[in-house]
Structures are given as structure tokens and as C-alpha cells.
Amino acid sequence: MKIASVETFDLRCDIEPSFGWSQGWIDQRATTLVKITTEDGLVGWGEGAAASIIDELLAPLIIGGDPMQRASLWERMFHALYNANIFVGLAGSALSAIDIALWDLTGKATGLPAHALLGGKVRDRVAVYATGLYYTEGEFPNRLLDEARCYVEQGFTGMKTKVGGLTVEEDVRRVRALRETIGPDVRLMVDANEAYNATTAIRIGHKLADLDLMWFEEPVNAQDIEAYLQVKDALPMAIAGGENLRTRFEFKDYLARRAYDIAQPDIMHCGGITEMARICSMANAYGIQVNPHVWGSPIMIAATLHLTATLPPCPTARDPQPYAQEPVMEFDRTPSAIRQQVCSEPFDQRDSHIQVPEGPGLGIEVDEYVVRNLSI
């Protein structure tokens, strides 16, 4: 079996209402999908970014190769990115897209789900929390608090909101209102998307300290390990990060120096299933929980579910629980055609869990008609 073609699709869709976070305001969602086809017509799908890097640099390296040799093809692509040190940026996302598609292809060729190819799952379903509660026009307090109540009614046991887009005082008031609305038993997390320096992150963290936050995500610049350590040492809640790091080489020091309490690799950026499995093993060895970052189409959701299903508890326990030893996965709730229409059967949660797919490969059916309609 040989790879015959690699095709990329840059997808865009309008979103309503538009929303914002600390680094901007958007009225569109976007992602890049890759379709790999073998000579005998098997198709694998992946998701990442940087279609031009896929088309011009990586695709020529794998066409004619055996998609079952995932590790070899990963290393071939990584080597092409290594000397110029471009694997740390968008090129890492391009590599991720191809890698995910190769796992999908291998599963379809063998009739096995990706989690079986990884060694088998240790859980049939993965705990999830709701990601939403963004900044929107005229949102506070009614729309924001109504959205939070809706997540509670849907059965979510946790949810995440944004900070860093308003003044410290305004954000504290917003988060405090959310805690009062959802009550003490629903987990609440905040995400600054790198909005603060260490001093300001510590300041707002102290103001939020009485709200029993599960974690404070990306409080400072993703590349500033010293700031992460400073914030982690000063605050009582867990500190999370890692969605913007590529490969185990960028994660290495953050894990070894315990700059994170919770690592959040993103499968469509960190190097795909192959590399994220390595990162998760490193984190587990250091006793650092992995709660994956997920913000894309059903392709990346499926890939993340398969890998997360195989992760051992951290640490091992007789009855491991989500948020304590079991991994918890982000589940985006913002309306988007990319998330809701690309797959013939979109993922949904029940009791704050998503069932792990059992079909071959990623175990999903991609609607190529929708993909082509959303392509720019």
C-alpha cells in the first residue's frame, strides 16, 4: 500500500454571534484539513494548519511511502523541518495534520480503531468540560450567566471562561458572578490566553483565589517558562498551559521544571497523535496531569478522544476520578459549521463525557461535500 496523493483544504465559516478573548475578536472560524489517499483508494483525514507547508514541503516527502510506517514518515518530515528550526511554528501544525491522517489510514487498512493501534483504551468514554463563556457584545450579566446555566442543565460538571480581555476588576466581577450562578459543585476554570505578565497574573489570581478555580490557563506568555514558575509558586490554584507548544522538545523543560500543574498539548499542533503520545508519557512520568486542548473540527476531536482513551491515570488509583487522576478534555460549545457539519454525526456529550469512537481509524465519517463547500 502506497500513498498516491495529499490534498489540503483551508476551511472558513462565519460565526454568530461573534466573540472575543484577550487576544482578539472573531466573526469566523478556520482550520486546515488534509486528505491522504492511497493507490487502492483508502482515505485518511487529518487536521492542522499551514496548507502551503503541507503542499510544498511535506507532501512530496511522503507520496509513494507506506502509510503504515507512521514513525518513519514522521521522522522523515521532522528531519526536513529540523535544521531550519521551523518545526516549532506552523510547520509543526502541518506535520500534525499529516500524522493524524496516517493514523486514520492505518486504522482503516487494518480494521482497527486508532486507540487499538496505540495499545488499547483504559476507558470507554472521556470526561469533558464546556468551553464557551467568551466575551460578546452586551453579554454581562444576562447572556453570560444564562449560558452558564445552560451548561449546568446539559449535565456538564465543569466549564471554562476567559479573562484578560477586560480590566482586572471587571474580569474578577465576571468570574465571581459565574461562580455564584453555577454553585460550588461545578468546576470552574479561567483562561487568559497569555494576556498577563507574571505580576498581573499573580494579582488577578489572588483576587480569584476564594472561588475554588480548578486551574488558571495560560496566564503568561507561552514561551516564558520563568514567568510560569513565578506564577505557579505564588498562586494556590493549578496552573495549566501548553496548547501553543510544538513537539516534546518544547515541552521538555516545562515538564522537567514542573512549570505546569496541568499540561494541555493540542493534537493538531504539537506533532499529531505520534508526538502527543510521547508528550503525554513524559508528563505522566513527572506526575503532571494531561488535559488536552481541543478547538477544531470532529477530526481533531476524534484524534484526541482516541489518544486520551489510552492515557493511564496520573497517578494510578483504585477508582480514578476526572480532574483528580483521570484526564479531562475540552469540548468547545460555540456554534460553528466546521465543528457541527464536517462530520456526518457530530460528537455530543452525555453526563459530561463523550464516548470513544469504535470504528476503524478515527471512527468518523467526514462529509467531503461539506468540506469542499467550506473551503476557500
Domains of the chain plus CATH, in order, are: 3-111+367-374 (3.30.390.10), 116-355 (3.20.20.120)
Pairing of strands 328-332, 125-131: parallel
pLDDT at 196: 98
Query: Distance between CA 95 and CA 87 in Å, rounded?
Result: 8
pLDDT at 24: 94
pLDDT at 138: 85
Query: Distance between CA 73 and CA 226 in Å, rounded?
Result: 35
pLDDT at 72: 97
Verify cis geometry, omega within 30 degrees of 0, for the bond prior to 360: no
362: closest CA among 38, 103, 153? 103
Q: What letter would DSSP give residue 261?
A: S
pLDDT at 136: 92
pLDDT at 140: 85
What SS3 state is found at 329?
Answer: strand
88: closest CA among 275, 358, 311, 322? 275
46: closest CA among 111, 103, 131? 103
Distances (CA, A) of 73 to 95, 96, 322, 344: 10, 12, 35, 30
> Would you say the C-alpha torsion 349, 350, 356, 360 has a positive or negative sign?
negative
pTM of the model as a whole: 0.97
The identity of residue 121, as a single letter, is K
Does the annotation mark 79 as catalytic? no
pLDDT at 86: 79
pLDDT at 155: 98
43: closest CA among 118, 102, 95? 102
Task: Write out the DSSP string of 180-209.
Answer: HHH-TTSEEEEE-TT---HHHHHHHHHHTG
Query: Distance between CA 245 and CA 254 in Å, rounded?
Result: 10
Query: Distance between CA 23 and CA 195 in Å, rounded?
Result: 7
* Mean pLDDT, the chain, integer: 97
Spell out a b/e string for 297-323, using b for 16 or more CB atoms within 10 Å of the CB, else e. Answer: bbbbbbbbbbbbbbbebbeeeeebebb
Catalytic residue among 115, 269, 293, 306: 293
pLDDT tens by residue, the chain, 376 residues: 999 999 999 999 999 889 999 999 999 999 999 999 999 999 999 999 999 999 999 999 999 999 999 999 999 999 999 987 777 889 999 999 999 999 999 999 999 999 999 999 999 999 999 999 999 988 888 999 999 999 999 999 999 999 999 999 999 999 999 999 999 999 999 999 999 999 999 999 999 999 999 999 999 999 999 999 999 999 999 999 999 999 999 999 999 999 999 999 999 999 999 999 999 999 999 999 999 999 999 999 999 999 999 999 999 999 999 999 999 999 999 999 999 999 989 999 999 999 999 999 999 999 999 999 999 8
Spell out a b/e string for 192-212, using b for 16 or more CB atoms within 10 Å of the CB, else e. Answer: bbbbbebebbbebbebbeebe
Query: Distance between CA 248 and CA 286 in Å, rounded?
Result: 14
